[in-house]
Amino acid sequence: MKFTKPQSLKDIADIIGCSYVGASDFPVYGMNEIHVVTEGDIVFVDHPKYYDKALQSAATIVLINKEVACPEGKALLISDDPFRDFNKLTKHFRPFLSANVSISDSTVIGEGTVVQPNCFIGNNVSIGKNCILHANVSIYDNCVIGDNVIIQAGTILGADAFYYKKREEGFDQLLSGGRVVIADNVGIGALCTIDKGVTGDTTIGAGTKIDNQVHVGHDTIIGKKCLIAAQTGIAGCVVIEDEVTLWGQVGTTSGITIGAKAVILGQTGVTKSVEGGKSYFGTPIEESREKLKQLANIKRLPELLKKS
């Protein structure tokens, strides 16, 4: 998430009430999670296991809960609770805006687009030309939808990420300030849920078609011309490259990559990254030919035991 105008290190420290290491006018351009940070971004870290990764990341401002040596060319924000203070920054720069109309006045809708009854479209949404939003579609704030997109009834774009920190009193939610971005010629089935990024974008590439009752987690990137069948669940921060096919009831873990033109057969659990151009099946996932051989051999076990 980039700020609408640059901030200084001191400005940010004042917002969250913490000390800092670095020049007071050190420039801050945005905030992001570690997998999508760029120069000028804030990243937060609150566990020693990830200190080095955060300090060595592309982020130039690190919100951290320990006084450490500041890498050259970077700045630190020293906080007793970086998770809490990252949420404070999200509230400050991307606050929740309540709605009192079904379609916000700030929404931009392209020529030829049809919005069926009972749709909700939030603040600062952009919808392209010749789209169809069927009844009861909900589009949360800041979503971007391209041209020739069809969204079937009951689908929700832009709900919060499923991202929590466990505390003694319960689970503390990491607030979501990102977006959902849908490219041209995408088809989305009925009752799908596509969560916005925590600070970045959840993206669906041009020409991809999604069946009914599919869930796409936060910050996931789906490439061009993919096919995703019903009841598939895609976790957060997954990269699905171009022309991938996911058949029904596939489930994935977070943070993995599925290579271009891979085919994942139904009810497979994608527990790790897989190469493109191959067919996969099973849980844990394996190439489908090998997995099906194993299943055939299991059926032969009684026969083999008799022979032994």
d(CA 113, CA 149): 9
The residue among 174, 210, 178 whose CA lies nearest residue 195 is 178
Q: Is 218 assigned a catalytic role?
A: yes
The residue among 79, 86, 255 whose CA lies nearest residue 173 is 86
For 285, half-sphere exposure in the C-beta direction (CA atoms, 13 angstrom radius) is 24
**What DSSP character marks residue 35?**
G
What residue type is assigned to position 302 of the chain? P
d(CA 145, CA 118): 18
3-state secondary structure of 306: helix
d(CA 173, CA 11): 25
3-state secondary structure of 300: coil
Active-site residue, from 92, 134, 215, 218: 218
For 162, half-sphere exposure in the C-beta direction (CA atoms, 13 angstrom radius) is 13
Is residue 201 within 8 A of residue 219, CB to CB? The reply is: yes
End-to-end C-alpha distance for the chain, whole angstroms = 64
Active-site positions? 218
